[in-house]
Amino acid sequence: MDFTIIKSYFPLFAEAFLLTVKIGWIGIALSFLLGIICAFILYFKIPVASFIVKCYVELFRNTPLLVQFFFIYYGLPAAGIKISAEVCGAIGLGLLGGSYMTESFRSGLEAVPLTQKESAFSLGMSKGVLFTSVILPQAISISVPAVVANIIFLLKETSVFSAISLMDLMFTAKDLIGLYYNTTESLFLLVVFYVVMLLPVSILGSVLEKKSRFKIFGD
Amino acid sequence: MEEVLKIEHLHKRFENINVLEDISLSIKKGETVVIIGPSGCGKSTLLRSIIGLESIEEGKVLFEGTSINPLDKKDIKIRQKIGMVFQSYDLFPHKTILENVILAPVKVQKRKKSEVIEEAEKLLERVGLISKKDNYPRQLSGGQKQRVAIVRALIMHPEVLLFDEVTAALDPEMVREVLDVILDLSKQKRTMLIVTHEMAFAKAAADRIIFMDGGNIVEESIPEEFFNDPKTERAKKFLKTFEFEKEKE
């Protein structure tokens, strides 16, 4: 391994890293928002909307991100809507992630025992108070592990960004290998940057998991 | 004495099984009524129907003379006047003991927080749990949790308290501490409807015993009469099962 090469590649990877992180987190924020809204729709069994959400979740969970990107990136302009590669990346990731987040939040909401609702009901709570004070805080704690897993999964899915010509980490590595054949150095940097991107999330996630678990389950 | 709660011809079916068949009973102010009977006789369903956790097919529940439907939104105020304590305590695990107790009075009854806290502390003191007020439910024993659940119901100032087999999930030593709290409430002339399997407690606390079987009220009498000289064969047989247990010991 040649460290002078690594040194010269470093700024390129750093730039790609920032782009990946930026679009990745925007996408994750979108997926979070979408997941919460869709989970509420499913939990409250809102007619029609529930059916639409179910279709959306199944469609996006069961198709690869790459295919979704092709539809958004090449399909939308054909329909007269022009978006940049960056916006496309964020939306694509948001839509894919939203389908996963929906299921995580929904299962969290449904995991709160019925007896909790009954005891809150017997204390004369309205549906609103019951939901915000009793169900939601517990559901959030229950959802944390699944949501953290989703975030890590989505950050790794950013490696598909190169398909829509976004200069993310994967794109940079592939490009450099193609140009100069410095496979070892490029792959080394690729791994390092992915780990740097994901390790903090992983650690923070398990801390958060422990805290929320402790609050409810005490272990 | 005035009637606080009155149940008229209550029917409840689960699919094809009649869980409650034409139940009628009334509870006077300050009265402690204990319902006993074999498992599956409908006693828990009766309590759950009163507070609206079960829908009813036929019949009426009257609270202070007016017919109520606890499932109805406009009757939410009345639901607050009927408190219920469950077998599985069902404290809110994400809230401390004090938070568990003050949540409903503050959020539902919109009472002043400082005033509610003051009352909560007094009540916790009375059941011997003031030192646990900042703990979470998981840090408490079953008996302690159940005492908190009773306080949580009491602080709403209910007119009637319903107890649904509140000691059934507890270790024998913990049963006592919970029953003592309820016995204390009975002495304070609280209006209570209690479902229990603790016969000695029923004898001590009840002003009136209701014996249920197969969704019907089979016998209704004062405790001395019921335990010493039951009128029906069914009640005799039921009470025998407890004697048998005693002989085995």
State the ipTM, two decimals. 0.86
**Angstrom distance (rounded) from CA B198 to CA B181:** 14
Instruction: Label the pairing between strands B82-85 and B191-195.
Output: unpaired
Q: DSSP label at A91?
A: H
Backbone angles phi, psi at B212, to 5 degrees: -115, 145
pLDDT higher than threshold 80 for residue A121? yes
The residues spanned by each domain of chain B are 3-90+161-248
**Domains located in chain A, CATH noted:** 3-217 (1.10.3720.10)
**Angstrom distance (rounded) from CA B135 to CA B36:** 34
Subunit contact A125:B138, Cβ cutoff 8 A:
no
Instruction: Give residue-wise pLDDT tens across range A66-101.
Output: 999 989 998 888 888 888 999 999 999 999 999 999
**Angstrom distance (rounded) from CA B225 to CA B246:** 20
Coil, helix or strand for A194?
helix
A61–chain B nearest CA distance, Å: 32
pLDDT higher than threshold 80 for residue B89? yes
**Angstrom distance (rounded) from CA A91 to CA A88:** 5
Instruction: Give residue-wise pLDDT tens across range B159-191.
Output: 999 999 998 888 888 898 899 999 999 999 999
Subunit contact B90:A119, Cβ cutoff 8 A:
yes
Subunit contact A124:B52, Cβ cutoff 8 A:
no
Subunit contact A123:B76, Cβ cutoff 8 A:
no
Matching CATH number, B3-90+161-248, of 3.20.20.330, 3.40.50.150, 3.90.400.10, 3.40.50.300 = 3.40.50.300
* Chain B: residue whose CA lies nearest to A218: B138
**Angstrom distance (rounded) from CA A99 to CA A93:** 10
State the pLDDT at residue B16. 81
Q: What angle do CA B221, B223, B224 make, to 5 degrees?
A: 105
